[in-house]
Amino acid sequence: MSKKNTHKETVVTPEKVYDFCSKKRLILGVVIAVLVVCLAGAIIRGIHLAIEFKGGTLITYTYQGDINTNDVASNVKDIIGTPVVVRTGESLDSGGKQITISFTSDEGLTADRQTELTSSLREKFPDNDLVIYDSNDVSPSSGREFLLKCFIAVLFAAFIVIIYIAIRFKNIGGWSAGVCSIFALCLDILVAFTTTIVCGFNIDSNIVAVILTILGYSINNTIVIYDRIRENRKLMPKASLNELINVSCTQSLTRSVRTSITTIGTMLIVTIVVKVTGYDSLLSFSVPLMMGLISGTFSSLFVAPVTWSWLKNRKAKKAKEAKSSK
């Protein structure tokens, strides 16, 4: 390690300082690639809103023996004419077997259609003793209201983050740092959303939980980088902003990678366990979160500080040009 001395303190810099600030094209390429994949996924796979966002019907039956969920889904789809999601589980009250059928619709399911559906399922699966346990309709207006509330919650959280960073790092240009951290966060959310689309998962309440989790993780990593830049500013007063960012990101690289490996590894294990045990409904949480955490590691080291550097240098260049033109 090499050492640089100031009047009262010593800053320790790595033997090799990586040039993070020169990776602007890499960052732009990653952002464009994610956007292209997201658009391609939306066109090819489509965007599937879950019941809580779009509205629809959820019917639960109790049953005996073993039942083929694919056959149930095919039978229900023939009757109602829309794609359905079928999941099996157990009742928390009795411990008996349950099968839940859900599908999106604008009008819900009338009593006559529900009777027709139940009769058809009993006729198709006579050995399973199907008995209706619960039935609920979610109106489209309720779904839109829930989606709006989730969107407002995310916007409010982002606004609070900008204010917090602006106040905490006001000595190094807090407002611009806060805006750049939100830009990096948008990339992480886009990666999680793209993963959801490409994997064919429904857009449901799980994606809201994923976004809020990524928000906390990514912002925490970014604040660590900013804090390191602020400390190095005191220890390296003559260094340029690019030099400060390169040194600070290099110093934080090992810590960020180790933390990310631990967190992402945990989510990978959860994903494997969920897939093996058959609880596929949790995959729409674990897989997008895992990809979002990977993006969060990249964005906290590259996107947020490098974008902030570009913004500050561009502003300084304009100010210098305006001053020289007078």
Domains 2-48+142-318 and 56-138 share a fold: no
pLDDT at res. 190: 92
The pLDDT score that the predictor gives to residue 294 is 92
Q: State the CATH architecture for 2-48+142-318.
A: Up-down Bundle (1.20)
Q: Where are the domains of the chain?
A: 2-48+142-318, 56-138
Q: What does the CA dihedral 212, 213, 219, 221 come to, rounded to 10 degrees? A: -170
Amino acid at position 265, single letter: G
CATH architecture of 56-138: 2-Layer Sandwich (3.30)
Residue pair 221/297 in contact by the 8 Å Cβ criterion: yes
Tokens representing residue 114 in the block: 């529900």
For the entire predicted model, the pTM comes to 0.78
pLDDT in tens, the chain (326 residues): 444 444 444 555 666 788 888 888 888 899 999 999 999 998 988 887 777 777 788 888 888 888 888 888 888 888 877 778 888 877 766 667 888 888 877 666 777 788 888 888 888 888 888 888 888 777 767 667 777 887 888 788 888 888 888 888 877 777 888 888 888 889 999 999 999 999 888 888 788 888 888 888 888 888 888 888 888 888 888 888 888 888 988 888 888 888 888 888 888 998 898 888 767 778 888 899 999 999 999 998 888 888 888 888 887 777 777 777 66
**Sign of the alpha-carbon torsion through 97, 103, 53, 44:** positive
pLDDT for 8: 47
